[in-house]
Structure 1
Amino acid sequence: MTNSYDSFQKRRLRSSYASVIISIAIVLFMLGVLGLILLKSNKVANHFKEEVVMSLFLKDSITKAQIEGFRQALLEKEYTKNIFFISKDEAAQSYKKDLGEDFLEFLGDNPLKNGIDLYLKADYVTADKMEALEKEFKQNAFIADVSYDKPLVKQLTKNIQRVSFWLLILSGFFGLVAIILINSSIRLSIYAKRFNIKTMQMVGATKSFIRRPFIWQSVKLGFIAAIIALVGLAIVIYYINKYIPSLELVKDYLSLTYLVAGIFLVSFIITWISTFFATQRFLNLQTNDLYY
């Protein structure tokens, strides 16, 4: 009879541990996906910013040597991501394809200018910084005119700020949900052992002595859950990298390190705090209150 009861208790305990691990793993997986979005949102935003082009149209009077010197000077600027020189003949061919007819036959002369397409680093793709650069370039003796899509830059900046704000709100919400769910799972696990806690307390064990094994048990369960969550995230990252290789998830070792460390850190902090307060509650209860 005793062996049967002990076997039942062990199965019940394993079932309790399994439910806690699964609950924590699901929550950590959700947080991991959100963390991945947050870490890569900046890269995605920067990718779109660095696709914005500022066209510098050069004066006809400057020589090839001056153009090359100006191009080299631009490459050394801190704001330059990349540059491409486009001759007036190449620009004419491009316009001819877009229009579907040879406009040079009608005009008789090529009115276009040699130009440089300047791609800026993401930090400089804002309305204020691009306007400042535009003024600077217009004062340059080699440049006839400067052109870029001002409405696009303003809209891009506004949309990125909006998305960042809502991601922050969403992160706070999921963080709160994670704390509540993990705390509930651990409280239920501790609740099943409330009589053991009170028995240990009645025979003279200190609160810290009673609390310690429960805390480390929960931390170990959280560690196992974190590993499971990371396995799930690894599968998600594999398929994202397979279908959207431009994000370079697998090669971004720094972001992946932050993600793994963050999952383990969140698991440790939440399980430790939740177990501490759950055991503290039962330690402070009177014996008669344990039945309710």
Structure 2
Amino acid sequence: MPSKFETYQKRRLASSYISVVISIALVLFMVGILGLMLLKSALVANRVKEKVAITLFLKDKVTTKQINGFKAALQKENFTKRIIYTSKKQAAKQYSKEIGEDFLNFLGENPLKNGIDIYLKADFVTPGKIEELETKFLKNAFVADVSYDKLLINLLTKNIKKISFWLLILSGFVGFIAIILINSSIRLSIYSKRFNIKTMQMVGATKGFIRKPFIWQSIKLGLVAAIIALLGLAVVIYYADKFAPSLGFLKDYISLAYLTGGVLLTAFIITWLSTFFATQRFLNLRTDELYY
């Protein structure tokens, strides 16, 4: 039968492992939440950008056949998300509905033009790229004028850059804190075994041989913690999808894969590095320094 001391040691070891797992899991959970915010902020930003349209007003002499061909060509362009064609008759009806009277009776003719609204892909919604497209379209024989909201695009680009900058700063800060906390947890765990490390070294074991079981043990604890963190994230994502279904948390399989892989990889890398340097520190200490 195991002695009371051995039982005590096993309980102490199990308690140490549990505390390490919980500490790492909490840190990874916060890292996962931040990662989810980063992934979804990019999605939200792209969705907002893709609601921006550039309108092409066509010349009156352009025929229906030419318009259809032009629309087909625009649809194939790499900057096009979708297009909406509005004839001058449709535009007149919409404008009359907005002002509450038929302005055609007063003017006698329709001064509006056929128009094509081009909703751009997110990568092309920047002041520079839209100006390039404007210049390109103005040279087209079918286009009379080009219209878009320059102020909105400038403001949108500026705000997205500002939000992205602060999210990156926050990510760096949280990542730094995560490394410190996980490193501290693992170092405390290895600290309790410092005498075992020195004993193995004194009987001739190499540093690599001594480090190996500690590294594998820490990686296992890190992966267990990562699974716990992912379960917590799964609950958060489930309820977030209920609260904001338009963001498609559960249907965005690519983002979920990135998030899962990121949490697992973070757990692996940080636990491996922390254990390596923690064991290296105790391996380099003299015997009398182990008591301080």
Pairs aligned (count): 292
| Offset, 1:286 | 2.4
Return the alpha-carbon distance in structure 1 between the equivalents of residues 203 and 59 of structure 2: 93
Return the alpha-carbon distance in structure 2 between the equivalents of residues 263 and 240 of structure 1: 19
Return the alpha-carbon distance in structure 1 between the equivalents of residues 270 and 182 of structure 2: 7
What residue is the counterpart of 1:159 in the other structure?
159
What residue is the counterpart of 2:144 in the other structure?
144
| Offset, 1:25 | 0.7
What secondary structure sits across from 1:205 in the alignment? coil
Return the alpha-carbon distance in structure 2 between the equivalents of residues 147 and 184 of structure 1: 58
| Offset, 1:2 | 6.5
What secondary structure sits across from 1:250 in the alignment? coil
What residue is the counterpart of 1:202 in the other structure?
202
Return the alpha-carbon distance in structure 2 between the equivalents of residues 85 and 25 of structure 1: 53
Question: Is 1:79 matched up with 2:79?
Answer: yes
What residue is the counterpart of 1:241 in the other structure?
241
Gaps of 5+ in 1: none
Return the alpha-carbon distance in structure 2 between the equivalents of residues 2 and 143 of structure 1: 90
What residue is the counterpart of 2:130 in the other structure?
130
What residue is the counterpart of 1:255 in the other structure?
255
CA-based RMSD: 1.9
Return the alpha-carbon distance in structure 1 between the equivalents of residues 106 and 30 of structure 2: 62
Question: Is 1:230 matched up with 2:230?
Answer: yes
Return the alpha-carbon distance in structure 2 between the equivalents of residues 263 and 144 of structure 1: 53
* Cα shift readout 1:133-181 (whole Å, capped 9, x = no counterpart): 1122222222221110011111111122222222222221111111100
* AA partner of residue 196 (structure 1): N
* AA partner of residue 175 (structure 2): G
Return the alpha-carbon distance in structure 1 between the equivalents of residues 119 and 52 of structure 2: 6
Return the alpha-carbon distance in structure 2 between the equivalents of residues 52 and 104 of structure 1: 29
* AA partner of residue 184 (structure 2): S
Return the alpha-carbon distance in structure 2 between the equivalents of residues 10 and 203 of structure 1: 24
Return the alpha-carbon distance in structure 1 between the equivalents of residues 121 and 224 of structure 2: 42
TM-score norm. by structure 1 comes to 0.93
Return the alpha-carbon distance in structure 1 between the equivalents of residues 220 and 158 of structure 2: 44
Return the alpha-carbon distance in structure 1 between the equivalents of residues 291 and 282 of structure 2: 11
Gaps of 5+ in 2: none
Identity of aligned residues (%): 67
TM-score norm. by structure 2 comes to 0.93
What residue is the counterpart of 1:92 in the other structure?
92
* AA partner of residue 89 (structure 2): D
What residue is the counterpart of 2:22 in the other structure?
22
